[in-house]
Structure 1
Amino acid sequence: MRLLILGGTEFVGRAVAEAALARGWEVTVFHRGRHEPPAGARSLIGDRTAPGGLAALTAAANPDTNPGATPDATLDANLDGNPGGKFTWDVVVDTWSAAPSVVRDAARLLADRADRFVYVSSRSVYAWPPAAGLAEDGPLTEGSPDAGEVPYGEAKRGGELAAVEAFGPDRTLLVRAGLIIGPYENVGRLPWWLGRIARGGPVLAPGPRALPIQYIDGRDLAEWTLDAAEAGLSGPFNLVSPPGHTTMGELLDACVRATGSDAELRWTDPETLLAAGVEPWSDLPVWIPPGELYDAMHTADVSKALSAGLRCRPAAETVADTWAWLRSIGGTAPQRPDRPPLGLAPEREAALLSE
């Protein structure tokens, strides 16, 4: 398989690239050059938000008409294994999460250069408030493929529409992910918990301890996405772990074990935390107390993806591997510039614990 990833050097895109390389696929990553691509991937440099920023894709797809324009001289229109083939790439994977018009421009350019288009979307595309147990046929938020900067849910819905508009419904796979964690995470949710628990001592732990949570390890998302693309699946799929896959208690207990710290989890009921002004999701990442927002984030119907082969590794494995990755890079996770830092400041947590 010949795979083009728009991105491919950070978090989900990198997980997809590494999974594809491990399968022996031909992988090309189109990125801005800010991070090293995975070893073995062909690299195309360009800024898709800038005028003319997609030129490297055009050159790569038409090297005979653009002599010397391809950043990687070994990349030709058919990657040697498909002489005379119709498409440069079998699959395109796009993880873009901002202006839908950026997805639109890339998808239009690639519609006759790639066979299939995979857009990593989000369950935020569902109209608010999503009902508990919502499946893929739930009502959707408004969105436009031509929009500029809009709220996250609208941006992802607009990206979906842009992909389908360019490639058609039968050639487009929409991966509606929930919470994504795991190695390479650059948002700061699981890395914050690991860093906090590694410091040890009393830790403010948000209850209920047995509260079920849903998430997807970025590597499990990558493997399912590649399987689905290779099988020719199309349409929307909720992609997150099944209900009951793990709990808040199991996740934080796994953090204690992985770090080997002397942390003492001080479980506190939701009412006490909310009364103290603690913000779910941001002050204490991953955690959302029971209610409307919890139903939206942690009760998705994923039966369609499970029927299509979704497999989710144990929470303990995700936690341990994320901790190992953090230690390998010095203990501090990269932070996306478009996302705010998460987690309680130490002094505020101490004050709350003293209360």
Structure 2
Amino acid sequence: MRLLMLGGTEFAGRAVVEDALARGWDVTVLNRGRSEPPPGVTALRGDRTAPGGLDALAGGEWDAVVDTWSWAPSAVRDAARALAGRAGRFVYVSSRSVHPIPSPPGAAEDAPLVAGSPDDERGDDYATAKRGGELAALGAFGPDRTVLVRAGLILGPYENIGRLPWWLTRIAEGGRVVAPGPRDLGLQYIDVRDLATWTLDAIEKQLSGPYNMVSAPGHTTMGELLEACIRATGADAQLVWTDPERILDAGIEPWTELPIWLPLGELYDTLHQSNVDRALSTGLRCRPVDETVADTWAWLRAIGGRAPQRPDRPSPGLPREKEARVLGA
């Protein structure tokens, strides 16, 4: 298979490239050259936000294109239009954020969608930008040649958002750690490598349409995740399980200051209770939480313990003074 990866050096894009290379595929990547792609690819340079940014793609042909773009949908539009006659399939890694928040528990791919435009040249709002990217892909390749990978929470090696890396780093420091309860709170996420595997399988199977790309609800729990962090790091951390009410009363922000965690309610239902029957029926398999955590910790150690951080996303994590106040209470 001949794969064109738009991006391919960070997180989801890198996982897709590495999986494709392991399958023996012929992989071409187009990016700005700020980070080196894995060895074994054909590396092309181009800034999609600049005039002539797609010139390096002139003349090539591919079986499939994978695009993870998260900003102005017009960049997806321009790339898809340029490649529509020279590529068999367009896979756009979108987001479950294209559904309004809150969404009811059990929402599937046919749930209502936010507005979006393929001609949006700003991409100021993440949800509408991702929806605009979907429309751009569909507009150029049509519904039968487009795959929309609506990812939920993504974890795993190469993470450049900082959620699991923060928990691993904090727990590695040891001591008493605020653990947001309840301990058996179910979590729904996708290991980036499982996302990559399903995506390439979808290309081989010639699938099309939208797919919620996240594990089944309750794939793991908050307790299992944090205990896996202790096992992976070998730290002497003590998890201090804390009621959601106490956490919220202390002014701690769920999801951002305590990454991954959300208290029960509408937002929890939206992010941790989605329907993934369609993806599971087409072969999605999700590895155990211990494997995701251990491999992320091994990657962190290999790069010196400091995870890369996307410049357009704030660094997550609980300030130590806030943690100390809760522990002291």
Q: 2:76 aligns to what SS in structure 1?
A: helix
**Partner letter of residue 207 of structure 2?**
L
**Deviation beyond 4 Å, 4+ runs, structure 1:** none
Q: Equivalent residue for 1:202?
A: 176
**What is the identity, as a one-letter code, of the residue corresponding to 1:163?**
A
Per-residue CA distance 1:241-277 (angstroms, 9 max, x = gap): 0112100000000000000000000000111111111
Whether the aligned pair in 1 keeps the contact of 2:250 and 2:322 (CA below 8 Å) is no
For residues 345 and 237 of structure 1, the distance between their equivalents in structure 2, rounded to whole angstroms, comes to 36
Counterpart-to-counterpart distance in 1, 2:301 and 2:226: 18
Corresponding letter in the other structure for 2:57: L
Per the TM alignment, residue 354 of structure 1 is displaced from its structure 2 partner at its CA by 1.0
Gaps of 5+ in 2: none
Is it true that 1:140 corresponds to 2:110 in the alignment?
no
The answer to whether the 8 Å contact 1:128/1:141 transfers is no
Letter matched to residue 48 of structure 1: R
Cross-structure match for 1:156: 130
Partner of residue 51, structure 1: 51
**Within 1, Cα distance between the matches of 2:162 and 2:243?**
23
1:116 is aligned to 89
Query: Is 1:103 the counterpart of 2:86 in the alignment?
Result: no
For 1:249-268, list aligned pairs within 5 A: 249-268=223-242
Q: Secondary structure at the match of 1:118?
A: strand
| Amino acid in the other structure paired with 1:124 | S
| Structure 2 SS opposite 1:336 | coil
CA distance in 1: counterparts of 2:273 and 2:101, whole angstroms:
14
Q: CA deviation at 1:347?
A: 2.5
1:142-161: CA deviation from partner (whole Å, max 9, x where unpaired): 11111122311101100000
Local SS of the residue matching 1:297: helix
Amino acid in structure 2 at the alignment position of 1:97: S
1:29 paired residue number: 29
Q: Quick one: which amino acid aligns to residue 106 of structure 1?
A: A
Equivalent position of 1:11 in the other structure: 11
Select the residue among 231, 237, 245 that pairs with 2:205: 231
**1:127, distance to aligned residue in structure 2 (A):** 2.1
- Give TM-score scaled by structure 1 length: 0.91
Any residues of structure 2 matched to 1:286-297 within 5 Å, and which?
286-297=260-271
Q: Secondary structure of 2:97's match?
A: helix
Residues 12-34 of structure 1: CA deviation (Å, up to 9, x unaligned): 00000000000000001101101
Opposite residue 57 of structure 1, the aligned amino acid is L
SS at match of 2:290: helix
Count matched residues. Answer: 328
Deviations 1:221-257 (A, max 9, x none): 0000000111100000001001121000000000000
Q: TM-score, normalised by structure 2?
A: 0.99
Letter in 2 for 1:43: A
Determine which structure has greater relative contact order: mean sequence separation of CA pairs < 8 Å that are 6+ residues apart, divided by chain length: 2
The CA RMSD measured in Å over matched residues stands at 0.7
User: For residue 91 of structure 1, what is the amino acid of its counterpart?
Assistant: A
> 1:279-326, CA deviations, whole angstroms, 9 ceiling, x for partnerless residues?
000000000000000000000100000000000000000000000000
Q: Which has the larger radius of gyration?
A: 1
Following the alignment from structure 2 to structure 1, what is the Cα–Cα distance between the partners of residues 116 and 73? 9
Q: CA deviation at 1:57?
A: 1.1
